[in-house]
Amino acid sequence: MSREPILRVAINAPLSRLFDYLPPADGANSLPRPGCRLLVPFGRRRQTGVLLEVAKTSDVPAARLKRVQKVLDPEPILREPDLRLIRFASDYYHHPIGEVVGCALPAPLRQGKPLHESRQRLKLTADGAHAVPAEAVRRAPRQSALLELLQRDGSLAAEELDRLLPGWRQPARGLVAKGVAELVEELGPPPAAGSAQKTATAPVPNPDQAAALEALSGRRDFHVALLDGITGSGKTEVYLSLIQETIALGRQVLVLVPEIGLTPQFVGRLEGRLGLAAAVLHSSLPDSVRLATWRAARSGAAPLVLGTRSAVFAPMQNPGLIVVDEEHDGSYKQQEGLRYSARDLAIARGKQLDIPVVLGSATPSIESLSRCREGAYRRLTLPARAGGAAPPLLRLVDLNRHPPTEGLARPVVEAMRRHIDEGGQVLVFLNRRGYAPTLICRSCSAVAECRRCDARMTVHARSGRLMCHHCGAARPLDDSCAACGGPVAPLGQGTERLEDTLQQRFPDFAITRIDSDSTRARGAMDQALAAAISGQTRIMVGTQILSKGHHFPDLTLVVVINADQGLFSTDFRGTERLAQGLIQVAGRAGRESRQGEVLIQTAFAAHPFWHELLTGGYERVAAMALEEREDAAWPPFSRLALLRASSTRRADTHRFLEIARELADDSPQDGTRVLGPVAAPMERRAGRYRGQLLFQSRTRRALHRVLASLRPKLEEEPFARRVRWSIDVDPLELF
Ligand code: ADP
Ligand code: ZN
């Protein structure tokens, strides 16, 4: 008996290996190819897996090998380049490959549904079409009725039959048995190539744009360019030109954006200029739409694929360019499951495919700037606003000289009045939703705390509740102190409170609050944005939701209520993030003819950060941050990974991390430091105690070696079942 081949299958399970199966009983002569989905027995259930390798032998004893039950795809749905990216992500992030495959597939495909919606159709056979075997159906009136319908039309789709003759499947079986009719599967219609009205023409590139295009256009091989241009400098115009050129060559373009909900204007602009519909992929689409879009990307029917981070896995028939807009944005990093950076995977993918990758930002990440310095990426700068508008003027408002009332300093209120009188719009930015961040007792000073987290409850006045922003817990607002029964009062400012204060100060104007509470209802965000964009609203209050991507033509003043928290962050990315946030929100001001003004309230006006930012801009802050990182050997001058763990028992979390540390110590370390275990700064969240180990290596290779040997040991470690744990390579948050 000749030995059967072994099918090695990736299954969505938290184990870093493939699972071996024998070919299906009926399919030994035509083996499925890697990239096809298979239905396999797994434990006591059946699972959809993806075939990755065909091997000659297996380590599993022959008697224990099970058979594949069914091959779900006649052709690989993930093709070789897609599988390469998946393998890379699994290796780089030390994450089980089956779960990586799970990230790369839309939900219906993960669940084993067909790639193409097939539709059933009942057809007359040649026999059925010729003679009417009346006696054959004489005693079956429903078969007879169905036959009559078929003879009129020749064939009918299942959904038409559902309408014409409910319950038709039973008589259909009778007709099929008699050889009069047959049930055939047909593929759904091919996805229509997207089209959109071409509504705009390109402006003539200015000299900076022309220089960038000169450097980039015509190059089709792998290279990374960083388009470093202030807000409004015309980066999008440069992308558009490159996209157009690539599509004209018959190749597809992938554009990644941080958050789709925030960028309808961006999508509309791309579509209007290119005259084609973008295939938009993001997580809040209905499954069926997502699948259809994924299919259009895969088949090549969609020339432009645009999406949030998971779109980096979108298969493409003929890719030619990848663009990552706002490359510094933290939302490119997935913070659960496979903790990947879509920007970094986009670069890896560009390299594998040998196509260009263009990153763009007004505030590039320190990592990308450092790659430019090394000469690995090419940096192209757009230093001025394209339309000729002057960049906004940043000024500090010293809260020690101008003590605020209800959160607002006098110069700020005066400036608001002036801008509104001159027909401008004002955006007041506060990164704290709710009414107040604390509820405090006036007699004993106790604060209302979350029962499941080491955190305070936020006061939400509109809903009359206390809410925890860490675990989502909510309870009715206390009207007296839980500890002493004394009177309680909200302390500090949130967007709700600021809205009330502004309404009192500016009673003649409608105030629009935009944060994740005010925009929860369907359509509320669009409505608020429409009011803001049309100029109907003169004063907007909001969180960082407002800081990205939007273009408010009349906006001339941005007020930042409280930036001081960021000054004292313990994270080595703290000042970089603060500067990015401020520049992004400042970039909303004065995008048209009038110059914008930005006022930043601070109680620490002498902090060196402000001097750097105000005199040297983001560039100076970034250069300083890079120096600090070099001195302290933080990334990119070292490589980091975190092993995070949590459990409902503090001792278990700690014990697991101790075990992990010992297991890691067993491996050859060549220059990897293991720091910890330490508790997370907010140790308890949602009732779980959290802790971590930090791995710091000089090189990626050294870090990789340690993690590659540690991960399988942890998967085998019995104590690991008592905790939840995860590995985070290149963590964005250190805590
Ligand atoms: P960014 O993407 O860097 O924020 P945009 O591409 O959105 O910048 O450009 C900002 C504004 O300037 C847009 O209204 C755009 O149409 C306009 N613009 C861009 N390039 C030019 C140009 N070369 N000439 C005139 N207007 C331009
Ligand atoms: Zn909580």
- Cα distance between residue 731 and residue 710, in whole Å: 18
Radius of gyration, CA atoms only, the chain:
30
Q: Say which range, 58-67, 180-189, 363-372, has the weakest mean pLDDT.
A: 180-189
- Cα distance between residue 50 and residue 43, in whole Å: 17
Q: Please name the residue whose Cα sits nearest to atom 24 of ligand 1.
A: 203
- pLDDT digit string, tens, across residues 268-314: 888 999 999 899 998 888 888 899 999 999 999 999 999 999 999 99
- Cα distance between residue 51 and residue 54, in whole Å: 8
For the cut 50, the answer to whether the pLDDT of residue 557 exceeds it is yes
Of residues 464 and 591, the one with the higher pLDDT is 464
Q: Does any ligand 1 atom lie closer than 6 A to the CB of residue 206?
A: yes
Ligand 1 mean position, distance from CA 385 (Å): 7
For the cut 90, the answer to whether the pLDDT of residue 715 exceeds it is yes
Residue 705 to residues 142, 238, 473, 641: CA-CA distances in angstroms?
A: 70, 40, 41, 12
Q: Does any ligand 1 atom lie closer than 6 A to the CB of residue 636?
A: no
Q: Which of 231, 235, 237, 257 to mutate to test the pocket of ligand 1 (most atoms within 8 A of CB)?
A: 237
For 673, the token pair is 């430091």
Q: Does any ligand 1 atom lie closer than 6 A to the CB of residue 203?
A: yes
Ligand 1 mean position, distance from CA 378 (Å): 22
H/E stretch holding 240 reads: helix 235-248
For 191, the token pair is 């996805």
Ligand 2 mean position, distance from CA 473 (Å): 5
The 8-class DSSP code of residue 341 comes to B
pLDDT band at 8; cut points 50, 70, 90: very high
Ligand nearest to the CA of 266: 1
Q: Does any ligand 1 atom lie closer than 6 A to the CB of residue 205?
A: yes
Residue 488, φ and ψ in degrees, nearest 5: -115, 155
Q: Does any ligand 1 atom lie closer than 6 A to the CB of residue 106?
A: no
Quote the strand ranges of 580-671, DSSP E: 597-602, 639-647
Percent of residues in the chain assigned helix, strand, coil, to nearest 5: 35, 25, 40
Q: Does any ligand 1 atom lie closer than 6 A to the CB of residue 361?
A: no
Ligand 1 mean position, distance from CA 212 (Å): 14
The count of other CB atoms within 10 Å of the CB of residue 38 is 24
Nearest to 641 by CA among 701, 576, 686, 575: 701
- Cα distance between residue 438 and residue 405, in whole Å: 17
Q: Do 116 and 296 contact (CB within 8 A), yes or no?
A: no
Q: Does any ligand 1 atom lie closer than 6 A to the CB of residue 575?
A: no
For 444, the token pair is 């004993």
Q: Does any ligand 1 atom lie closer than 6 A to the CB of residue 241?
A: no
Q: Please compute the mean of the pLDDT values over residues 434-456 and round it to a whole number.
A: 95
Residue 403, φ and ψ in degrees, nearest 5: -60, 130
- Cα distance between residue 578 and residue 328, in whole Å: 12
Ligand 1 mean position, distance from CA 552 (Å): 14
Q: Please compute the mean of the pLDDT values over residues 248-266 and round it to a whole number.
A: 86
The count of other CB atoms within 10 Å of the CB of residue 282 is 17
The structure tokens 């605020």 sit at: 404
- Cα distance between residue 694 and residue 675, in whole Å: 5
Q: Does any ligand 1 atom lie closer than 6 A to the CB of residue 329?
A: no
Q: Please compute the mean of the pLDDT values over residues 573-601 and round it to a whole number.
A: 88
Q: Does any ligand 1 atom lie closer than 6 A to the CB of residue 235?
A: yes
Per-residue pLDDT, 191? 46
Pairing assessment for the beta strands 252-256 and 304-307 based on DSSP bridges: parallel
The DSSP bridge partners found for residue 601 are 397
Q: Which of 206, 236, 591 to mutate to test the pocket of ligand 1 (most atoms within 8 A of CB)?
A: 236
- pLDDT digit string, tens, across residues 69-94: 999 998 999 999 999 999 999 999 99
Q: Does any ligand 1 atom lie closer than 6 A to the CB of residue 587?
A: no
pLDDT band at 190; cut points 50, 70, 90: very low
Per-residue pLDDT, 269? 87
Q: Please compute the mean of the pLDDT values over residues 562-566 and round it to a whole number.
A: 87
Ligand 1 mean position, distance from CA 232 (Å): 6
- pLDDT digit string, tens, across residues 147-173: 888 888 888 888 788 888 888 888 999
Quote the strand ranges of 626-669, DSSP E: 639-647
Q: ∠571-311-95 over CA atoms, to 5°?
A: 60
Average pLDDT, the chain: 90
Task: Give residue 396's Cα distance to chain centre.
Answer: 34
Ligand 2 mean position, distance from CA 217 (Å): 51
- Cα distance between residue 113 and residue 587, in whole Å: 45
Per-residue pLDDT, 183? 84
Per-residue pLDDT, 192? 46
Ligand nearest to the CA of 587: 1
Is cis: bond before 96, omega within 30 of 0?
A: no
Ligand 2 mean position, distance from CA 437 (Å): 13
Nearest to 184 by CA among 121, 263, 278: 121
The DSSP bridge partners found for residue 325 are 360
Indicate which atom in ligand 1 lies nearest the CA of residue 230. Answer: 3
The structure tokens 């000054």 sit at: 567
Q: Does any ligand 1 atom lie closer than 6 A to the CB of residue 363?
A: no
